[in-house]
Homo-oligomer: A and B are copies of this chain.
Amino acid sequence: MANLTPSRLPARNTTELKAILEVLEQTPFCTVSYVHDGQPYALPTGFCVYEHELIIHGSIKSHFLEAVLAAGDVCVTTFLFDGLILAASAFNHSVNYRSVAIFGQARELTDPDQKAASLQAFTERYVPGRWPHLRPMTKGEVQATRAVAIPLDQASLKQRSGGPGTTQDPWSEKVWMGVVPSRQVFGEPIPFEGQEPREVPEHVKRLLK
């Protein structure tokens, strides 16, 4: 079992599930790390949380998912970049962030209904309200997709927020100090050129808010 006790700076850490779920909801992608032949491998991928597990998915032909299931043990990490901390010295520069680490055993979702429901949750997580507009998923599409679940009972959140710490550095008088906040945003939707022009639907416009 992985040691979730933070080794340094404990004030920035928590294993409280509610806080972890809130951050995962706001984080679009994760990185899944696993061991194959004693070597480290990792792949960034989308995810959703479904029935208290983290779900990743891909083609049934995906070598990545095959390797993850063969490995069993995974480490999943997420990272949200919230801002740059600018101090008077390079040494005191830092970053505001929220980062989750999850250790667990990956398992395949084999029940077709559960798999289909997790894929619906996946779509709705990225584009809330889109599902009812889509052509319904076919049985063949569900069969062609592999969904892999990782439990969340060994998860921890590490974060930093706020500004630069008060500093005794005399250069604090000379150098502009502060935070430059950062976030991921959506831009104006670009309609598919192979389609008759039509109004951008509300569920797509809402992504920009």
Q: Report A's interface with B, CB cutoff 8 A.
A: 2, 7-8, 28-29, 31, 33-35, 38-44, 46, 59, 61-63, 71, 73-79, 81, 83-84, 86, 88-91, 93, 95, 97, 99, 101, 103, 119-120, 122-123, 126-127, 130-131, 133-135, 137-138, 141, 144-145, 163-164, 166-167, 169-196, 198-201, 204, 207-208
DSSP class of A's interface residues: helix, strand, loop or mixed? mixed
Contact (Cβ within 8 A) B204 A180: yes
Query: Apart from A35-B35, A93-B126, A176-B200, what 8 extra A-B contacts exist at CB < 8 Å?
Result: A34-B40, A42-B75, A89-B135, A90-B123, A91-B137, A133-B174, A134-B171, A135-B169
* Residues of chain B within 8 A of A163, CB atoms compared: 190, 192-193
